[in-house]
Structure 1
């Protein structure tokens, strides 16, 4: 298995099936539209490939905040069901940590659903810890997955 950074929207669109493990109802058209909105704002995507099969993926953003400076945020970390507990998540996190260091980021960050306890256990094992809450106020429920 190898880690690969996706460079084009067309490459990212190929990750839809794995992404559907988290968002089962997302359509190709919706994903295409969201990528069009995200890519111009420093969105990137990294995958772990097992031959021609995407075993796992994470999106990421590089940004800056007053309290921490430059940071890398992981977005939608997904490991395909049949590849879980086989080192794919660790490969993604190791790669992204090195990428963050290359970018001179002060930290990595991610959001996780409060009920995703298996993922939380994995994130703790990768050196992540909760630092605060990510509060949301949904303004249009029809657009939230």
Structure 2
């Protein structure tokens, strides 16, 4: 599977449906602006293309903080329903881990929602040697 970095408006359009599969509240009208803002904030989008669209997509950022050192954080990892169970997300994770090693990154992190629909995703992360290391807390301001 060929992993590509989304680097053009055509690539971003190819990734729309896969992103919306994970983020269904992100409407077609909001997508272009939201993606451009996301990528402008030091993030990278990579994808696997099938039939002229992204079968699977990942969005990640690289940063540095006192707790983690140099880290890579996976914000989004999504596979279109018709391509699930075929290894696309696993290949994206493998690519990201190899990229992290190549770039001298200390740790790779992600958060994942906890519900029955996420069981397959959690199995993938555990199989890729991710560990459950903390609880994530949040408060809504609006």
Same fold at TM > 0.5: yes
Q: Secondary structure at the match of 1:77?
A: strand
- 1:17-75 per-residue CA deviation (whole Å, 9 max, x = no partner) reads 11221222322331222223222221110001125231100000001121221111111
What's 1:93 paired with?
Answer: 93
Q: Structure 1: 5+ residue runs without aligned partners?
A: 141-145
**Alpha-carbon distance in 1 for matches of 2:71, 2:88:** 23
Partner residue of 2:65?
65
Q: TM-score, normalised by structure 2?
A: 0.89
Taking the TM superposition and a 5 Å limit, the aligned residue runs for 1:92-111 are 92-111=92-111
After TM superposition, the structure 1 = structure 2 runs for residues 20-35 of structure 1, keeping only pairs within 5 Å, are 20-35=20-35
1:105–1:82 CA distance, 2 compared to 1 (3 A): same
Q: In the alignment, is the contact (CA less than 8 A) between 2:56 and 2:79 conserved in 1?
A: yes
1:119 to 98, 118, 121: 121
2:99 counterpart SS class: helix
2:136 aligns to what SS in structure 1? coil
Q: Deviations over 1:81-131 (max 9, x none)?
A: 111111111110111011111221001111100112221111100111111
Number of the residue aligned with 2:131? 129
Aligned residues: 140
TM-score by length of 1: 0.88
Q: Which runs of 5+ in 2 are unaligned?
A: none
User: In the alignment, which residue of structure 2 is the partner of 1:139?
Assistant: 141
